[in-house]
Each structure stands twice: as C-alpha cells, then as structure tokens.
A and B are shown apart, each in its own frame.
Chain A
Amino acid sequence: MLFLSQLVGRPVRDRDGGAFGKVRDLIVALGEEYPPVTGVVLRVAGGRDIFVPWSDVEQIDATGARLHTSSIDITSFRQRTDEIRLWLNLLDKQIVDVEDRKIVRVNDIQLAPVDGRLRLVAVDVGLAGILRRLGLSGPGERLAKALGIEAENYIQWEDVDPVESSVSSLKLRVPHQALATLHPADVAHIVEQLAPRDRAGILAALDDERAADVFEELDADDQVDLLEALTPERAADILEEMGPDEAADLMADLSDERQEELLGLMQPAEASDVRQLLAYGEETAGGLMTTDYITVRLEETAQEVIDQLRELHPDADHVYYLYVADADGTLVGTITLRGLIVAPPETPVRDFMRPEPISVQLDLDAEQVGAAIARYNLLALPVVDEEGRMRGIVTVDDALERALGEGWRKRLPEVFEPVDER
C-alpha cells in the first residue's frame, strides 16, 4: 500500500542515479473509476516546479522515484481540466461522507497499481492518515489500539464525486443521483453542516419536490439562509412544493419586499394560500394551520371518495381524516380512514360521517389549540372561520412543535436515539 504522504518530499533520480529533485505532487486524470497517475510535479534546485509525464517515470515508491531519461523537457506544467493535483487540490480538503452523514477531511491519499498503472484508489479519512503525516504512525497507532479507537478509515474513490461548490475543496462521497435516494432528513442534516454557500450546490442536485422536503426538515434560521442563496425562481418553485403552512412560516421570516417578489413568482393558487396564512397571527390557530387537507361532499359514496384519494395521492399526514363540507363550505362532519374503508362502497358520506366535528376558530390562541388536540386525542384539528366555513387544519406535530418550543428538536434525538439510527 502506497500513500501520497510517503511519496512527497522523496528524492527523484535520473537514469544514472544522479539527484534530480524532489517529488512535490502527483497528477491524476479524472474520469475513470480509479484515476491513473499521469505525471509527477518535481521541485528542482532553485525552487522551481517542473512537470514530468508518467511515461518518463521508471519506478516510484516510498523511497523515491527514478526516471527513464537523463534529460527532460523543461516545459511548464499546464493543468488540463480533467486533471487534478493530488497534494494541492485534494489532500486536506473536506468530503461529505453521505453514508455516515458527516463531514470528514482527506488526511492522506492511497495509491495502488491497478491494470498496470499507478492509480488513485481511496482517500484516507481516518486517524491513521493524520498520524502518518505527523510521523507518529508506530506509537500513535499502538496508542489508538490500546484505547480501542479504530484508526483506519478509507473511502473508495469510486464513491467520491465532486459537488458543485464555490469552495473547490468540497467533494461528495456519493454520486449526485444517490443524494435523491437519501431520506430528506439526512440530506437536511448534511446541508446544515455545510458552509452556506455550499448548500445551494447540494440543492441543485435535487428536484423541486425533493428540495421542498429537505427545506421542511431544516431549522428556521437555516431555511432562510438557504433560500437567500437560491435564485428567486428556484426559491419560488421550491416554496410551491412545500406545505402552505411551512412555506408561510418560512416566508414570515423574510423581508416584505422579498416576500412579494417570491409570491409574485409562485403559481397563483399556491401564492394565495400562503398569502392567507401569512395574514394570521403566528400564535393563533390560523398561524399554525395548513391549508393542505381534503374535503368531501355529503352525497359522495365511500367508493367515490376512495377513488378520489387514489387519484389525489395525498401525503400520509392528510389521509387519516377527511372533512365533510356542505354546499356553502361549512364544516359538517369528519370521516376517518377506518370509517371509510369499513363502510359499504355505495353508502353516502352523510351516513357514516361523524357529525358535529370538533373545530376551533381562526383566532384561537395557539396554546389552547394544543390543549384541544391533546384533550380530544386528535391527529389533526379543523380550523373554521366565524361562519363555520372550513379554513384549514392544525396537525398534531405542528402543535407539538409550538408547545415544546424551538429547542425540542435538539433535545429529542437524545431521548429517542434508536429512532435516529440509520
């Protein structure tokens, strides 16, 4: 096994054994699964760096390098776009380790002969790499072993892919497409750990719906930061895909001009939902509620409702309760998912709905909304205006979040650790 740190600084000799200079860097050509080394950068007397193509290198190992030739063409090195210098461009840089959901650093770079070429095979992100570069491999690794610390940790190069970023140092452990397969909470977790200007780069890899899911997982402060980093058009597209209540909460933290700009770019229907929600006080039922809910009419049959649901393909949050409204939009009953399924297909809604549903007024204090949800043991509570027309629902998780305060997200994982395990 050969590491970059063992090569750099080693002497380079020509064919006759005369000292030529020292290894300063290696160049690899990206694109292949394991990128081949295409050249060596040498530091020669006088502090100048020169480039030697790989074809001139006879042998290279931890003791140094030997060249085929005794004279080389001293052309200054020009980096091609598909090439990187390992020491300069990759070593010590950050990598997002998606599998373990954290950011690590490239402590060393592992090279090995594959198919007859020396190739970049893995990056060393473990303690072993740090110790090797500090010259403490022996005693350090014995100490780590004694303490039961796993010193070795490598990420195969085939799992590393550059991510678009203003900071050229950042690489991503999985290909972009793989990001889309992660749980939104995990993507959010990665986003939170990045410097703000790198966050937008991650989001560029996701479609609007996926990006909206990630947004909903972020803390309020991070949401605003991230939104500001996007173009207004992209921001509006993502806001449309978010729940109207989440979108309104986010937009409440923006300046008035920014709100107007984004609302203007959104689809009129979504924009008006958000606009309505923005008008309600934050600490009221109106401020807590979402306008994402499903209403059915009194005369529809159970089968018709089920067919509709199939068509609408609603989120899990919205399927447990359906609300029954009369012609004026007045809330007259609720049906549960269970009630719907056990009812004979031809029964009209009015016959199996629960009449006189519990509801709250738009301006009810948020705390009392939470109390009502707790008292009646509900997953969601409908919100009506003064005329009894349905305006939205408050879901139990939104009410809980308000009741427990902002800090609860931070503390809960401690309690529910097993849930958080991947």
Chain B
Amino acid sequence: MPRALRGARRSIRQRLPNFRIHRTGVMAFLGVLGPGLIAGLAGTDAGGIATYSVLGAETGFSLLWIMPITTVMLLIVLEMAARMGAVSGQGLGDLIRDDFGVRWTFFAMVVLLIANGAISIANFAGIAAALEIFQIPRFASVPLVAAGIWALVVFASYRVVERVFLSVAVVLGAYVVGAFVAGPDWGEVGRAMISPTLTFEPSVLLLMVAAIGTTVTPYMFFYLQSSVADKGLGPEELGFERADAVLGAVWTNSLAVFIVVLTAVTLHGSGIVIETAADAAHALAPVAGEFSELLFAAGLFGASVLAATVIPLTTSYTICESFGWESGVSRKFSEAPVFMGLYTALIVIGAAVVLIPGLPLIGVILVSQYLNGILLPIILVFMLRLVNNPRIMGTHTNATWLNVVAWGLTGLVTLLSVVLLGSSLADWLGWF
C-alpha cells in the first residue's frame, strides 16, 4: 500500500504561509520575509486601502497624526504576539483556552468570529468593488470568486493562492511612487504627523476608530503567533522575531501613510467623495494616468482575495483548535463538521452580504473596520493578561514601561470607541 495514503489533517500553522528560513543562497535572502512581514502585508487588505483612501480624501492631512500612534500599537502588539509564540510554542487561541477556561474562550471566540466575519464581508466588498471598475456586476463576480476561493483551498493548496496574490499586492507600491510624483509639501506632512487635533465629530471619530481597527487587526496577531509557534522559533531567537515584527509593522504603516498622503493631495478639497472604487482609483492618476483604474483594481483585487482566503481559514482553525474540534480542509464534512461549516459559512456570508442590492461597498468596508476597532480592546486585554503571566512566559513577561504603554493604548482605544458610540447615540437621539 502506498504509504502516502493517509489522512491529511494539517495544523493551522502548516496550512498558512510559513516561509521557512532557508540558509543558503537566494533563499537566505528571501528568508527575511518572516511571518511578521506577511502579517503586515496581509493587513493592507480591502479594509486598509478603502479606509486610508477615505481618510485622506475626507480629512486631508489632519488625521495623519494617528499614524505614528497606530504604528507603535501595531509594533507593540505584533512583538508581543511573536514573543508569546516563541516562548510558549502555542497559538493565541490555545493559550486563551489553557488559561481562561471554556467561558472566556467562548467569549473571545465569539468576538473573533464577529470581527473576522466583518472583515470577510469587507474583502468580498473589495472584490466586488475592484471588478465593478471593469463593469463586471457583483452578482456575477462575487459568487464566482467565492466559489473559486472555497474550491482552491479545499482541492488545491492554500499556498498557491497566497503566492499569487501576495505578488499582486505588490502593485500597491504604486501609492509610494504616486505620493512622490504628486509632490506634496513634505514639511507639512511631517508637521501633520506630530500635531494631534481632537474633535468629537462622529464622522471623524468613526474614521479614527476604523483606521485603528484596520491597522491593528485581531486576526493579524492570531496568525503571527501561530506562525512563530509553528516555525519552532524559540526564545533564543527573539532578536530575529522582534526585528521581523517591527519590520512588518513599519512596512504596512508606511504604506498606509503614503495612501493617505496621495489621496489627500489628489482628492481632498476636489469635492470628490469616495463612494466607489473608481473614485478611490483617481488618486493614482498622477502616477498611472489612464491606467490608474486598472492598477487600483488589480491591487484591491489581489489584496482582497488574499485576505478573503486567509481569514476564513485562520478563524476556523483557531476556533476549532481552542475547542478541540477536528479541523483541516481535507477532511470530509462529516469528519470535521464545525470546521468545514465555519469555513464555508464565513465565505458564504461574506459573499451574500455584499450581494444585498444597493449596498454601498465602501460604506460596508468602513463599518467592518470600525467594528474591528471596537472589538480590538477585548482581544488586547486577553493578550496583555497572558503575556504578563509568568507561568506561561517565564522571564519573558512585559517590561514595566511596555505594560504602561500597552495598557495606555488599550485604554485609549476603548475610550475612543466609547466616545464614538456615545456621540453617535447622542447624534441619533438628536441631543445636539
């Protein structure tokens, strides 16, 4: 009997991108592409592109000051996730279950499911928006792509999908070129980054929370921690993991800054309100001219498909592993009902919501990122509790200054969400 005929349940860590650190030749160079960088890249998905574009178009440079703050947040969170993965050798879902028990795990997983479900919807909205630029109606594009993603992962390999779309996402570099071509007053950009302006305008608050939610996304650190744990990187390699996490955070946020700057220069004040992807694509006109729509659509499509593939998988694996349910895409439905059910449902729901007639795609994307921003503090509290538990982390718990910063930022995001909810409510009740 051929020995390869065997069950092929693979863990989340093996399924998801896991670039081995090869030690010779070209591979040594490519090995730099660690999980932190991939987490960062995957973070610039439909939600990121849409949110940063709207942020730039609506508020110009005036909210640029939150970018350094979100960078620091992302950096801190990714570093903690990488450190926890390295020291404990376990994923975040595993640790939550081990340490907090069934009830808290259930709560955390419901939060994760809502947050990731929203992102799944956002990415299908991104797919629909990108293809609408080519006049392909979403009723055709979305079900087709959804079925394609489902089938590719189940019948082929996730890695194939990942390689292809990760490379497509590289066209987002056009924003960097574009920002320089557009030639803003860089001094002004610099000043805007360090001069906070506060306002209680609900629409601005919403953009702020959405920007935080899209930059620091729970699934990124679930994914990163699993990858690090899977590589078997130990505490002795913490230096590498830290560098990788910092690189990922700085990379993705630099890109975010360029998107905001370019859309601010080209769209802010022009009276254009971003309602469709085509509006957002105009931002690329200085660098791509008549090809700007093509370029934008390609970037948005690639990033959206990549995230739309990663998120249902990450979510299903995390949930099933923390509850001890059978998981793996090669399992039959009857063998892993919860896993296959969740995986399928996340794709089907993501696609179905986008098909609701008349739904504004950009609006849907923004709301999903906003929801992530609101749910983020919950996951952060779990993380901070775990990373400070010496039973898990030994001597690698957070330093005091790091705790002060991390808890401070968590408090800040919570406060922002509460103020936003309050002001929206007040607005809705007609108090002002």
Contacts and interface: CB of A to CB of B under 8 A. Distances in A.
Contacts of A256: 24
Interface in A80-106: 91-94, 101-105
User: What is the size category of the interface that chain B forms with chain A?
Assistant: 35 or more
A318 to B, nearest CB: 15
Interface stretch (A47-55, A224-232, A331-339, A367-375): A224-232
Given A133-B102, A228-B232, A189 B7 contact: yes
Contacts of B89: 166-167, 195-198
Nearest to A196: B232
Contacts of A416: 5
Contacts of B324: 94, 103-105, 107, 125
Query: A interface, by DSSP: helix, strand, loop or mixed?
Result: helix
Interface residues of A, number: 56
Contact of B103 (A125, A134, A166, A192): A134
A217 B2 CA distance: 10
A410 B8 contact: yes
Contact of A420 (B7, B18, B94, B229): B7
A410 B329 CA distance: 10
Contacts of B230: 195-196
A59 B398 CA distance: 44
Contacts of A167: 88-90
Contacts, number: 118
Contact of A413 (B98, B103, B157, B330): B330
Contacts of A188: 6
B121 to A, nearest CB: 26
Nearest to A422: B7
A206 to B, nearest CB: 17
A31 interface: no
A291 B13 CA distance: 35
A222 to B, nearest CB: 7
B330 A92 contact: no
Interface string B148-190: 0000000111000000000000000000000000000000000
A107 to B, nearest CB: 7
Interface in B278-332: 321-324, 326, 330, 332
Given A134-B103, A412-B4, A196 B9 contact: no
A16 to B, nearest CB: 33
Contacts of B94: 94
A225 B18 CA distance: 12
Interface in A191-208: 192-193, 195-198
Interface of A: 91-94, 101-105, 107, 125, 129-130, 133-134, 149, 166-167, 169, 184-186, 188-189, 192-193, 195-198, 216-217, 219, 221-222, 224-225, 228-229, 255-256, 397, 400-401, 407-414, 416-417, 419-420
Q: Which 5 A-B pairs have the closest CB atoms?
A: A105-B324, A196-B232, A133-B102, A255-B23, A104-B324
Interface of B: 1-11, 13-14, 18, 20, 23-24, 88-90, 94, 97-99, 101-103, 105-106, 155-157, 229-232, 234, 321-324, 326, 330, 332, 337
6 contacts: A92-B97, A92-B105, A195-B13, A255-B24, A401-B4, A413-B7
Given A225-B232, A410-B330, A413-B6, 18 more contacts: A92-B105, A104-B324, A105-B323, A129-B102, A130-B102, A130-B106, A167-B88, A167-B89, A169-B98, A184-B3, A188-B6, A195-B229, A196-B231, A217-B3, A225-B231, A397-B4, A413-B5, A413-B8
